[in-house]
Structure 1
Amino acid sequence: MILNTDGTKPIYVQIAEWLETEILSGSFNSDQKVYSQYQLAEIFNINPATAAKGLNILADGDVLYKKRGLGMFVSNDARERILNKRKKHTLKKLVQDLVLEAERLNVSEEEVFDMIKNVKRNWEGT
């Protein structure tokens, strides 16, 4: 992953989202230790405090938990928490943006649904 340092999204948020994606993809399982702030700092060439902030976002959301002196570990229900959060926030925002743009372009619901179906079909075919 390459961090977007020129964007509006803070780096620590990008780190948290990257770790969430890693958990969703199965790279980290329940009760498995994740990267330390120093490992993340080295991987992404960032300040360890910035990496720690990303880890703390996930700990505050109960996606990760701390074991004193050992590091951060994936919570048992981390996957479900991430899925629910992304459905409620990320996916909802994307759909709102899509509907707004479709209205601006005078694209019907049927056309939008067809576009979604075509994208999904093409994606599944690859």
Structure 2
Amino acid sequence: MQFHFDESAPLYQQIAAQLEEMIFSGAFPEGSQVPSTTQLSTELHINPATVLKGMNVLVDKDLIEKRRGRGMFVTAGAQEKIMQTRKESFYKDYVKSLVLEAHKLGITKQHLLELIERGENDGTVNN
């Protein structure tokens, strides 16, 4: 388990984001226990309160749950929740602006679909 930190966001947000990515990628499958606040704070040399704040972000998103006396566990359906959130973000962050820019350039829906197919076929997308 590796974490990488930078100055782009508060540490607790980076911890939350990286744990979320580990859940999404299957490194922490649904139902599995995630490392404790103490384990992470010791391993990462970070204040336990910072780690807990990051984990609470995931609790608030219903991606992990606290089990009293046992620790934190990945909730059932966590991967699907992350997938749906990312799909919605993809739409808002990319598709809407793509369609707007295509409209400004006079690109028709058909031409836009052709450009997407071209993007898939030019070798940049690995299936």
TM-score normalised to structure 2 length: 0.74
Secondary structure of the corresponding residue to residue 6 of structure 2: coil
For 2:90, the aligned partner's letter is L
Deviation at 1:44, TM superposition (A): 2.9
Unaligned 5+ segments in structure 2 are none
Match of residue 59 from structure 2: 59
Q: What root-mean-square deviation, in Å, do the aligned CA atoms of Structure 1 and Structure 2 show?
A: 2.9
* Contact 1:3-1:44 at 8 Å conserved across structures: no
Describe the shift of the 1:85–1:43 C-alpha distance in structure 2 as closer, same or farther (beyond 3 A). farther
Kindly, what percent of the aligned residue pairs are identical? 34
Bigger Rg, which one: 2
**Which consecutive aligned stretches of 4+ in structure 1 deviate over 2 angstroms post-superposition?**
42-45, 96-103, 106-119
Name the CA shift for 1:98/1:107 in 2 (closer, same or farther; >3 Å).
farther
TM normalised by structure 1 equals 0.74
Distance 2:51 2:60 in 1: 14
**1:92 corresponding residue in structure 2:** 91
In the other structure, the counterpart of 1:113 is 116
Q: How does 1:1-126 map to 2 (within 5 A)?
A: 1-5=3-7, 7=8, 9-88=9-88, 90-95=89-94, 99=98, 110=112, 113=116, 116-117=119-120, 121-124=123-126
Structure 1, unmatched stretches of 5+, are none
Q: SS at the partner of 1:91?
A: helix
